[in-house]
């Protein structure tokens, strides 16, 4: 029985019972809590999916002794997430230690810490995330013994064509990549730096004493400001010029690039035309930053302020909203009108300079915005709150009392609404809505709560902010951390081009994913950019929410870079004057024709070509078996495996599977390699082959991503060889509307890193089956054909030819154009780093027998254990 992990055969169930019996390690995912830690004085509330348990205790993880005993709340019916449960409150337990919750009748929770520095690690990680996003620099991230590294990318930014200077470049390296993509957007930098600078203004006394993992560690600036400076260094050249205050809306490729490392992402980046929202955000960021940097470098602070002044003066002269013309670009829009951005800019200009005209500008604008002047929840499109908070906190004189009073009332009203939402939610979430990026919104509203607390001190405001941190670290409808690298079962497959193109199984750590865009649709698969991407504005909000919980730590992470990897984008010349005559090379051949040298004898060893119209494998090479489907046991549907009415290469049949609606980890289709009817599964020795090849296409409107997993004795529990099973070696496969042949050498398969990771190599001598899996929430209708073993020398991808260097550029930045010089071909040979799906966050619906429910609980515990020990 090899159906991944959730529909168990009886023999496997017995094995699980034996293995999982001691409750000591089987954390129950029905207990949802911040699984990282709590400061002693703060609120500590968890949620339990039970409508019957009444008592709980908090026990020492060292000796199981009871540190606190309490009673659960009555039932909380949370219509937003369609879950019912009870809350438990152990806020009065303040003794430092490592604990777990024990809820008789439910189980135990993961361990967590109570202590002053309990959230330091989460804070350090969210800052590490920013560092890891640095553009124009090699990046080395080391966290808990694992190192992620990429060479410097995007050193050739960027072309001024859309600013009317065709072929002219201007350096704009630095900055953080926006998100899972490699572009940089001024509007989103606004809310990002706005929140980071607010955290600095509130907590610089603490934050300046906390070393961060970055190359400038311990230098002239506090580490926190060094990280911020990386972004500011990019922003300055986004201004048209010192004489023209307009600010380019973004620096971006014309379209999103593929999942390649930064140094292999070569398409030209362009400065986009200006917009007034971006221009105003630029003013606000630089004026605010000028204050932060003044104590450390007055000249730099003046540079920032001078740039802000030029753009502010331009805005004053040009009061009409102007949307950036982004018609040439398919990348992120961040389109927004400017009233809120202009208000924020005016507030920061006033606070930095004391300019009475700026004060008047702010007050007029914020009053004109009416109820929109203060928002309970906000994001990049709605930054007035940043200005309001600066204004209310300002010690400067001259404020209009009526404006102050109206804003105070509005801030408190907004915060009270958040408290009410929090109280209605089983998980303490401060708003019922879910949309793209709403995880970030939750953390960001801590600004509103903190501001209300300053106006009308009330402990509940701090509690609601703390509850958002809890939500993001695991007290949520998924029972999973939303931050890579920390907490229980954190995201493993964020939509992140760096993580998706490197050789590490685990993603870069320290990233808050966007979260469900509906109450139930968060999906930990790379393809789900709407729910599982990462973004700087979300991390900045998380940093803000955590900053107040940080205690100075003595242990400094010591920065050590690994050797840089060379960029494959061609040489970069720096330091000269900008060439003017260069034109973009046009001769680059796209890398669509990757070819492989496998099967040199021309006869792929076919496992099944489906042409006989049945679902048994071809009886050759000693193979026996059939196609089968499997799923996570939730209430989705799968049709198939079907013998389709058409196949690849105009053949008669393929195998087709249609599926939708699985919510935990999805499902898959597999093919057995050595199973004779009802007899037990046997392994198949494929060591004479060098890999796999098959054809795939999707019939859905958009491309679909699958994980091809090798179910082998290394990772399959029934083999009794593995101790932490189901961490199958896998490779990611993209299916598009057209049939594509995919060829994968064994070296392309990797484990995703839970359980006890094996040696890096898959052992093809003992395969049970091949499984193509899809993820939770994924709707699939796809076909496979000509599934075969590859033979001959290990396949080698051949990229397209290089592009042609521009001629005519003088010194400075000759524009060397694309041509990925042998990077990934369309066949996925070189695209092996990404791993997808396959985790075993098993869950079966509770509708089965009581015994079934029990077994599920054990399975869950085991799966959590695997995930935890794999971190
Ligand atoms: O990868 C892109 C991600 O960063 C964006 O947030 C998202 C929405 O704009 O788009 C993603 O790119 C996808 C594109 O929109 C459509 N083709 C597939 C791309 C990669 O998944
Ligand atoms: O965070 C942005 C979200 O609010 C928008 O709804 C969404 C669609 O416009 O875009 C998100 O921003 C993406 C940006 O456009 C491109 N880089 C990735 C960002 C995060 O998904």
The tens digit of pLDDT for each residue in 83-117 reads: 999 999 999 999 999 999 999 999 999 999 999 99
More confident residue, 842 or 384: 384
441 lines ligand 2 (CB under 6 A): no
pLDDT of residue 8: 27
Residue 632 appears among annotated catalytic residues = no
Nearest of 175, 182, 501, 172 to residue 331 by alpha carbon:
182
Closest C-alpha residue for ligand 1 atom 9: 332
> 344-370: per-residue pLDDT in tens?
999 999 999 999 999 999 999 999 999
pLDDT of residue 760: 64
CA distances from 798 to 265, 676, 731, 791, 831 (A): 17, 40, 19, 18, 12
Ligand nearest the Cα of residue 382 is: 2
pLDDT of residue 721: 57
pLDDT of residue 720: 59
Average pLDDT over residues 432-448: 98
Ligand 2 atom with least separation from CA of 181: 17
pLDDT of residue 817: 30
Residue whose token pair is 């107040």? 548
DSSP 8-state assignment for residue 701:
S
Q: Which of 176, 179, 439, 441 to mutate to test the pocket of ligand 2 (most atoms within 8 A of CB)?
A: 179
> 638-649: per-residue pLDDT in tens?
889 998 888 998
Nearest of 854, 683, 687, 638 to residue 23 by alpha carbon:
854
Query: Would the pTM of this model clear 0.75, i.e. be above it?
Result: no
Instruction: Report how far ligand 2's centroid is from the alpha carbon of 530 (Å).
Output: 8
Average pLDDT over residues 652-661: 91
Ligand 1 atom with least separation from CA of 179: 4
- Token readout for 322 is 């102007």
More confident residue, 169 or 743: 169
> 117-164: per-residue pLDDT in tens?
999 999 999 999 999 999 999 999 988 889 999 999 999 889 999 999
The radius of gyration of the chain's CA atoms, rounded to the nearest angstrom, is 28
Confidence grade of residue 13 (pLDDT, cut at 50, 70, 90): very low
Average pLDDT over residues 562-579: 47
CA distances from 669 to 9, 161, 225, 474, 773 (A): 18, 48, 50, 31, 6
332 lines ligand 2 (CB under 6 A): yes
Closest C-alpha residue for ligand 2 atom 13: 332
Average pLDDT over residues 534-545: 98
3-state secondary structure 40-74: CCCCCEEEECCCCCCEEEEEECCCCCEEEEEECCC
The neighbouring-strand residues paired with 169 are 159
Which range is least confidently modeled, 183-187, 255-259, 861-865? 861-865
- Token readout for 679 is 């007899």
Task: Write down the catalytic residue from 78, 181, 363, 631.
Answer: 181
Confidence grade of residue 838 (pLDDT, cut at 50, 70, 90): very low
Confidence grade of residue 26 (pLDDT, cut at 50, 70, 90): low
180 lines ligand 1 (CB under 6 A): yes
Average pLDDT over residues 568-582: 40
> 779-801: per-residue pLDDT in tens?
999 999 999 998 876 433 333 33
CA 89 to chain centroid, in Å, comes to 30
> 215-260: per-residue pLDDT in tens?
998 899 999 999 999 999 999 999 999 999 999 999 999 999 999 9
Residue 27 scores a pLDDT above 90: no
Residue 524 appears among annotated catalytic residues = yes
Which range is least confidently modeled, 110-124, 460-474, 577-591, 673-687? 577-591
What is the chain's mean pLDDT, rounded?
83
- CB burial of 648-669 (b: ≥16 within 10 Å; e: otherwise) equals beeeebbbbbbbbbbbbbbbbb
Q: Tell me the pairing of strands 112-114 and 37-38.
A: parallel
> 163-178: per-residue pLDDT in tens?
999 999 999 899 999 9
Closest C-alpha residue for ligand 1 atom 17: 256
Ligand 2 atom with least separation from CA of 178: 17
Average pLDDT over residues 842-866: 28
What is the C-alpha end-to-end distance of the chain, expressed in Å? 27
pLDDT of residue 156: 86
Closest C-alpha residue for ligand 2 atom 19: 179
Residue 52: phi and psi, rounded to 5, are -130, -35
């Amino acid at each position: 029985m090899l159906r991944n992990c959730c529909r168990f055969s009886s023999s496997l169930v017995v094995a699980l019972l034996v293995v999982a019996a001691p409750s000591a390690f089987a954390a129950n995912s029905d207990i949802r809590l911040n699984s990282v830690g709590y400061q002693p004085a703060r609120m500590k509330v968890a949620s339990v999916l039970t409508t019957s348990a009444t008592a709980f205790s908090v026990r020492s993880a060292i000796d199981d002794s009871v540190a606190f005993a309490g009673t659960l709340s009555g039932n909380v019916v949370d219509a937003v997430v369609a879950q019912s449960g009870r809350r438990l409150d152990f806020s009065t337990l303040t003794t430092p230690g490592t604990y777990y919750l024990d809820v008789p009748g439910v189980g135990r929770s993961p361990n967590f810490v109570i202590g002053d520095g309990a959230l330091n690690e989460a804070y350090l990680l969210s800052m590490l995330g920013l560092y890891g996003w640095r553009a124009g620099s090699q990046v080395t991230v080391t966290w808990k013994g694992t190192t992620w590294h990429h060479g410097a990318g995007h050193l050739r930014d960027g072309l001024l064509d859309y600013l009317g200077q065709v072929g002219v470049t201007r350096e704009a390296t630095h900055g953080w990549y926006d998100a899972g993509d490699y572009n940089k957007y001024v509007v989103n930098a606004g809310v990002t730096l706005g929140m980071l600078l607010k955290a600095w203004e509130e907590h610089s006394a603490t934050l300046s004493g906390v070393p961060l993992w970055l190359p400038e560690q311990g230098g002239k600036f506090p580490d926190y400001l060094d990280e911020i400076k990386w972004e500011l260094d990019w922003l300055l050249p986004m201004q048209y010029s010192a004489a023209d205050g307009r600010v380019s809306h973004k620096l971006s490729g014309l379209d999103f690039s593929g999942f390649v490392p930064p140094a292999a992402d070569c398409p030209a980046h362009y400065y986009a035309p200006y917009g007034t929202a971006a221009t105003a955000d630029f003013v606000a960021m630089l004026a605010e930053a000028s204050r932060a940097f003044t104590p450390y470098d007055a000249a730099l602070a003046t540079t920032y302020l001078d740039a802000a002044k030029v753009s502010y003066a331009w805005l004053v002269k040009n009061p009409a909203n102007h949307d950036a013309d982004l018609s040439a670009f398919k990348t992120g829009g961040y389109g927004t009108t400017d009233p809120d951005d202009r208000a924020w800019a005016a507030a920061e200009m006033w606070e930095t300079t004391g300019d009475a005209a700026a004060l008047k500008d702010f007050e007029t604008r914020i009053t004109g915005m009416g109820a929109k002047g203060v928002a309970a929840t906000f994001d990049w499109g709605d930054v007035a709150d940043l200005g309001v908070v600066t204004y209310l906190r300002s010690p400067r004189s001259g404020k209009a009392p009526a404006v102050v009073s109206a804003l105070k009332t509005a801030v408190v009203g907004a915060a009270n609404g958040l408290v009410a939402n929090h109280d209605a939610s089983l998980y303490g979430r401060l708003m019922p809505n879910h949309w793209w990026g709403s995880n970030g919104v939750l953390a960001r509203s801590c600004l509103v709560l903190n501001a209300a607390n300053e106006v009308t001190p009330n402990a509940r405001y701090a509690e609601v902010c703390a509850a958002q941190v809890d939500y993001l670290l695991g007290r949520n409808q998924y029972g999973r951390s939303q931050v890579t690298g920390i907490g229980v079962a954190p995201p493993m497959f964020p939509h992140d081009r760096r993580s998706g193109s490197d050789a590490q199984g685990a993603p870069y750590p320290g990233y808050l994913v966007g979260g469900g865009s509906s109450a139930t649709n968060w999906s930990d698969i790379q393809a789900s950019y709407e729910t599982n991407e990462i973004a700087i504005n979300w991390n900045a909000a998380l940093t803000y929410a955590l900053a107040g919980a940080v205690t100075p730590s003595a242990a400094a992470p010591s920065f050590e870079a690994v050797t840089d990897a060379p960029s494959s984008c061609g040489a970069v010349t720096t330091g000269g004057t900008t060439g003017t005559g260069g034109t973009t090379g046009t001769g680059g051949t796209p890398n669509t024709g990757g070819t492989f040298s496998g099967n040199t004898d021309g006869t792929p060893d076919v496992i099944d070509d489906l042409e006989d119209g049945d679902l048994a494998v071809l009886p050759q090479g000693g193979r026996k078996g059939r196609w089968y489907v499997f799923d996570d046991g939730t209430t989705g549907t799968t049709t198939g495996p079907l013998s389709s009415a058409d196949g690849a290469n105009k053949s008669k049949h393929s195998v087709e599977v249609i599926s939708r609606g699985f919510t935990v980890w999805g499902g898959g289709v597999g093919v057995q390699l050595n199973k004779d009817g009802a007899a037990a599964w046997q392994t198949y020795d494929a060591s004479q082959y060098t890999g796999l090849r098959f054809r795939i296409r999707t019939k859905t409107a958009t491309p679909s991503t699958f994980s091809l997993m090798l179910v082998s004795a290394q990772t399959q529990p029934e083999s009794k060889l593995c101790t932490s099973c189901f961490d199958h070696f896998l490779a990611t496969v993209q299916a598009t509307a057209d049939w594509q042949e995919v060829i994968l050498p064994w070296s392309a398969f990797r484990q995703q890193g839970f359980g006890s990771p094996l040696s890096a190599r898959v052992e093809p001598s003992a395969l049970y089956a091949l499984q193509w899996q899809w993820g939770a929430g994924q709707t699939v209708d796809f076909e496979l054909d000509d599934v075969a073993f590859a033979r001959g020398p290990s396949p080698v991808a051949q990229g397209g030819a290089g592009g042609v260097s521009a001629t005519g550029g003088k010194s400075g930045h000759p524009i060397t154009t694309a041509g990925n010089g042998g990077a990934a071909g369309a066949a996925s040979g070189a695209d092996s780093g990404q791993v997808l799906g396959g985790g075993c966050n098993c869950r079966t619906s509770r509708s089965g027998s009581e015994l079934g429910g029990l077994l599920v609980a054990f399975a869950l515990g085991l799966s959590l254990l695997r995930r935890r020990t794999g971190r």
